[in-house]
Each structure stands twice: as C-alpha cells, then as structure tokens.
Amino acid sequence: MDFQISEDTQTILELINEFVDKELLPLEQDFLHRPWDELMPTLAAKREMVKQMELWAPLHPKEYGGVGLGLVDYGLVCEALARSPLGVFVFGCQAPDAGNIEILIKYGTPEQKEKYLKPLIAGDIRSCFSMTEPEQPGSNPVLMDTTAVKEGGDYVINGHKWFTSSADGASFAIVMAVTNPEAPRHLRASMIIVPTDTPGFNLVRNIPVMGHVGSGWHSHGEILYQSCRVPQANLLGPEGHGFVIAQERLGPGRIHHCMRWIGICNRALEMMCHQALTREISPGQRLADKQIIQAWIAESAAEMRAARLMVLNCAWRIEHYGQKEARQDISLIKFYTAGVMQRVLDRAVQAHGGLGVTDDTVLASWYRGERSARIYDGVDEVHKVSVARRILKQYAAEHGLA
C-alpha cells in the first residue's frame, strides 16, 4: 500500500487549503447565524471561483464536468474541505447530492441524466435522499411502510419519511418505496425519482436537531408522500433493487464522511492549540502549560492519526479490491472515526471553557451537529455487531468452535 500523495493531488490540496483559509473561514459567523437563503448569493460567487479554478466537483468524472479524483485522493480533498462547514458545498461535493450523483451516473437512463444529473452536477439544483421513516427502524430499513403502487403508467407513492436531509429547497428526491411486497425482503423496495413540486410531495417541516431547525441545504426534512404520482420512467435502476443500490451508495460515502470528520478534528485541534497558547489562566501561566491540556492534545493527535490511517487504508482497499472485500474495514472506520471526532470536539469545547459552548466559534455547532455521525449511515452498534460477528465466525472456524 502506497500513501504517497501525487504531485497533482498535492497541488490541489494546497489550492484548497488556501481557498478555505481565505474565502470560507471568514464566512463562518454568517453560516452560524444567518438563514441559508441569505448566504446563497455569497456562496454562489464562491462556487463560481471554484469553477474558475477547475476544482469544481472533485469526486465526479471528468466527462460530467468534475475533476475525477480516485477515492484516496478525494478522501484527502474531503479532509481539507472540512476545515470549514461550507467546504464541501462550495466545491460541489456535498451530501446527499454526491451520493445521488453517483447512483444517477451508474443507473440513470439517458433522459434521467439529462433532466436530473446534469443540473445537479453543475450545482444548478439540489436533491435529497428519502429512505428513513419515523415509524420503522432506520437501522433495519427492509422494514419499510412507504409504498409505490403502479397505476396506469405511473407509480403512486404513499408514506411518511423523515431525516430527508436537505429536502428544503431541493428539486427532487430519490425515494425508497416498496414496489414488490411479495419479493424476498432485500428485493422489495425501489428507488424512484420524485420532483419536489409533484402534488402529494409535502415537506411537513425541517426537524429541529439539537436545537437547530436549519434551512436550505443545512436542514433535515420530514415528508409526507400522499398519493404522490410520478411516471414509471422515474424508476432509478432495476425495480426491487433499491437496497442493492443503497449499499453501493453508502460504501464510498463512508470514506467521504470519515475523511470529512478527520478534517473537522484537524480544525478543532488547531483551535484547541490556539486557545491553549493564548489563554493565560494565572499570571505567567497559559493553558498550554498544564499537563492535562497537553494530554488532551496528545491523545487527540494519536487518535486522529490512527483514524486517518485506517480510513485511507480502507479507501485504498476499496480502490484495489472493491467494496465487498473492504466491508469490515468500512464498518471499523465508520464507528471508530465518529467516536474520535466526538472525543476531539469534546476536548476542544472543554479547552475553550464557556466560549466553547457559545456559537461565537464553530465548535459548538460541530459538537451538536456531528453527534449524528454515530447515527447516520449506520448506527455504531450495527457496525460493531457486524465486525464482531465476522471476527467470531472466523475464530470459530479456525478453532473448530463453529
């Protein structure tokens, strides 16, 4: 395995670091205190600058107007972008659009690509992904109440979804709905593209998360699909293959998230160091002189290094051996990195004292918002159980204990 960063990627990372420092960090207070719509004109101008720099959509293939980076390189880009909460959005690689783009590229029909994929990659529209339901366990999504019934040339969708991130202002949703109730559990649901202006698509509210209602891209919607009728041509991929496609969407997505979380840790550690070196806690003594603070810094650095290497290694394994072979690695990085981020953010908040829990810095927003990292894209417990089962199975087989 080779972690040598190519010259091209190194150049991209330097450009991104400079851009984040100069153009995005100064917008942080606006991000924390202003509604999304008010930010958009400024963000649109920044996005234009990114396009001019030819760094737009770093993940997506060149033929679709992206930079076409591989998974390891793109992971490094996510890390660099995540020092600002606006980084991925301004560079056109934000969730949930990035995942939706990947599946539209792979499964979209020529018409779907023209109508939905092209403007999505260009950043002219946004999208959302609507799978989780309040009345069913998202950890076991084969238990799903939402249905899509064929009628004439249409699907008629009925169901209740929530945590459809970024639904507010999105142009379309990719909805998971049961189309084949008699099929085996994993082949019952399909992905269907639903324009959000379709009658019967009802955004009930943006759900307050840790006290933050949010708006626009930075929100999580609750949606009622009430006799929502779309043409059968809006089926994405084969009927009944919704879970298969969802799994494909999640694997690389976890690399993106984990590297983004490492980027957040990098920034939190920088802020912790700055605070430690500038806060005098008694005459002639700074926070940085206290061994307990030094221990937080060292522990954070060690955990971040471990997580980073695990994630890069996982990305490398996905690139070389495929997602299936890297299944265990994907579970390991998902819960481990989320935990590291939570601990690093907690130490950074603590080191800032009262300031740490205000919204005068970005730390509190991350501390609240990124708690969800242990829940979305697979809760910690499901990943741990899956890793432990594999390890136990292998041990049992090797030691005649099956």
Ligand X SMILES: Cc1cc2nc3c(=O)[nH]c(=O)nc-3n(C[C@H](O)[C@H](O)[C@H](O)COP(=O)(O)OP(=O)(O)OC[C@H]3O[C@@H](n4cnc5c(N)ncnc54)[C@H](O)[C@@H]3O)c2cc1C
> Which structure tokens are listed for 381?
């417990």
Closest to ligand X by CB, 76 vs 387, is: 387
> Nearest approach, Cβ of 351 to ligand X (angstroms)?
26
Angle between helices 242-278 and 71-81 (to 10 degrees): 40
End-to-end CA distance of the chain: 33
Of 40, 142, 355, 382, which one interacts with ligand X (CB under 6 A)?
382
> Which structure tokens are listed for 57?
């959509």
> DSSP string of 70-127?
-HHHHHHHHHHHTTSTTHHHHTT--TTHHHHHHHHHHH--HHHIIIIIHHHHHTSS-E
19 near ligand X (CB under 6 A): no
64 near ligand X (CB under 6 A): no
Taking CB under 6 A as the criterion, which residues in 216-275 touch ligand X? 220
Of 84, 100, 164, 190, which one interacts with ligand X (CB under 6 A)?
164
Of 129, 225, 335, 366, which one interacts with ligand X (CB under 6 A)?
129
How far is it, in rounded angstroms, from Cα 107 to Cα 90? 26
CA–chain centroid gap for 272, Å, is 25
Closest to ligand X by CB, 97 vs 329, is: 97
> Nearest approach, Cβ of 222 to ligand X (angstroms)?
11
Helix (H, G, I), strand (E, B) or coil at 212: strand
Tell me, residue by residue from 92 to 111, as one string, x for binding to ligand X by CB under 6 A and - for no binding. ----x---------------
Could you give the count of Cα atoms lying within 13 Å of 396 in the half-sphere of its Cβ? 8
Of 42, 147, 171, 372, which one interacts with ligand X (CB under 6 A)?
372
381 near ligand X (CB under 6 A): yes
Of 6, 30, 62, 137, which one interacts with ligand X (CB under 6 A)?
137
Closest to ligand X by CB, 60 vs 161, is: 161
> Which structure tokens are listed for 171?
């142009």
Give the binding range for ligand X (CB under 6 A) out of 38-46, 54-62, 316-324, 368-376: 368-376
Of 44, 53, 277, 385, which one interacts with ligand X (CB under 6 A)?
385
376 near ligand X (CB under 6 A): yes
> Nearest approach, Cβ of 381 to ligand X (angstroms)?
3
Mapping DSSP onto H, E and C, the string for 353-366 reads: CHHHHCCCCCHHHH
Q: In degrees to the nearest 10, what's the CA dihedral of 193, 199, 201, 206?
A: 130
Q: Are 205 and 252 in contact (CB under 8 A)?
A: no
Q: Are 84 and 365 in contact (CB under 8 A)?
A: no
Of 36, 155, 163, 336, which one interacts with ligand X (CB under 6 A)?
163
Of 6, 11, 29, 139, which one interacts with ligand X (CB under 6 A)?
139
Q: Which residues bind ligand X (CB under 6 A)?
A: 96, 129-132, 137-139, 163-165, 209, 220, 372, 375-376, 379, 381-382, 385
